[in-house]
Amino acid sequence: MNETQIKRVALFLPLGMDLGREIANGVLDFSRENAHWTVVLVRPPGNLTDLSPTRDRFEGIIGFFSAGMDFRTLKGVAPHMVGVSNAGFDSPVPRVINDDPRAGELVAEYFLKRGFRHFCYAGYDAFRYACERGEGFRARLREENLEATLVDLHSIDLSKGHGETRDLLLSLPRPMAVFVENDHMAVKLLRRAHDAGLQIPGDLAFMGVDNERISCAMSVVPLSSVALAGHALGVAAARKLDALMNGRDDGVREERVPPLGIVSRASSDTLAVSDPLLKRVFAYVREHMHLEIGVEDMAGAVKASRRTLERRFMGEQGLTPFEALNMMRVRRAEELLQNPSLSVEEVAMRTGFSDARTLRVHFKKHTGKTPTSYRQSLLGHFPSADGQ
């Protein structure tokens, strides 16, 4: 390949976010395997309009664009552009973006499977992605004749000790599933709920979007989140830009990339429970599931007979205690499988299953996937301790 074939492409992405880095990796992987571009990271978000046609020249740009940008000037910098953010404006350039309605649907399905009947969506109505996530969530609930309480994040103060926010959280019916537009805001709202003395996830179970791994792990209660397909989005955006730069415009103005799935952590790791006895059982299981505990251990921990436990579980959950125990173990396994340094055998031991084979049987029964295929769907191109 000679120099004239190598194209200069600029990336305008928020690399402080996991999503931004994953999109960048997808673009770079496409370039290495297909296009052999020279890829340049331009100035941080907010300063793209500083680019000058007389000083900065690229064949293409992939980036997070906003309504205030001067696209006429940017066309002088790069004749071809592909946007990768679901911003709330009529984009003059083609976009490859997350399927935000589908993210909301996944969250609704996740909480419905866990028996929740009270729901809340918290978001900013000024952002298109937030509106679409909320609408996807509510539309899926309406299919079950259920509704969600709406909380406009513009209307509440998430600073520490704010009384109105505390009163709002305490007024919500329990147990309630709370879906927040993104991880950043979910961590804040979860903290306020925790400060108000609410049990997470027993009273309020929380879910965000973006799967910002460090933020989620460092939340006062580790936050469950929808993992977006950043790498796949980057590859798709790069493929779109490559076609544009080579005169192959298919006329499609917007492509959607579905999310990878839900990463379950402690903030939602429960079944919806109103019975105080069962709440204590679930607390015991969360603390001791790495041990090979059984139904007798569960009953003993709350000083109840096995018969009482079975009656209470069937009455509220429609499950036997043994089925509920294995379901919680599988949910914990979903969380641990995010860590590529843990083998499936180690995950089995940490969740109280006797071996990897037993884990596979129960995992497939509850999720429809094997542990390995589930891990691959979330981690994609990252190698795991199993060498896969």
d(CA 118, CA 138): 12
On the 0-12 / 13-18 / 19+ scale of CB atoms within 10 A, 324 is buried
Q: What is the pLDDT of residue 1?
A: 39
Three-class SS state of 27: helix
7 phi and psi, to 5 degrees? -100, 145
DSSP letters for 186-228:
HHHHHHHHHHTT--TTTTEEEEEES--HHHHHHSSSPPEEEEP
The answer to whether 84 and 97 are in contact (CB under 8 A) is yes
Q: Tokens 């979860």 sit at which residue? A: 190
pLDDT block averages, 10 residues each, the chain of length 388: 69 91 95 88 62 72 85 85 86 93 96 92 91 97 96 84 85 95 96 94 95 94 95 96 92 93 87 85 90 93 95 88 91 85 93 93 92 80 48
Instruction: Find out whether 344 and 372 touch, Cβ atoms under 8 Å.
Output: yes
Q: Which residues contact 309 (CB under 8 A, 6 or more apart)?
A: 277, 281, 295, 298, 299, 302, 321
Q: What is the reported pLDDT for 384? A: 46
Tokens representing 322 are 């043994």
Which pair of tokens denotes residue 286? 């969360």
Nearest to 262 by CA among 183, 329, 176: 183
Residue appearing with tokens 């331009």: 42
Ordered by where they begin, the domains of the chain are: 3-97+230-260 (3.40.50.2300), 100-227 (3.40.50.2300), 276-379 (1.10.10.60)
Distance, in Å, from the CA atom of 297 to the CA atom of 232, rounded to the nearest integer, reads 45
- How far, rounded to the nearest angstrom, does the alpha carbon of residue 336 sit from its chain's CA centroid? 15
Map residue 367 onto helix, strand or coil.
helix
Residue showing tokens 């006895």 = 277
The 3-state DSSP class for residue 361 equals helix
Question: How many of the other CB atoms lie within 10 Å of CB of 40?
Answer: 13
Q: What does the longest C-alpha to C-alpha distance in the chain come to?
A: 80
Q: What's the pLDDT score for residue 77? A: 84
Q: Report the DSSP beta bridge partners of residue 120.
A: 149, 178
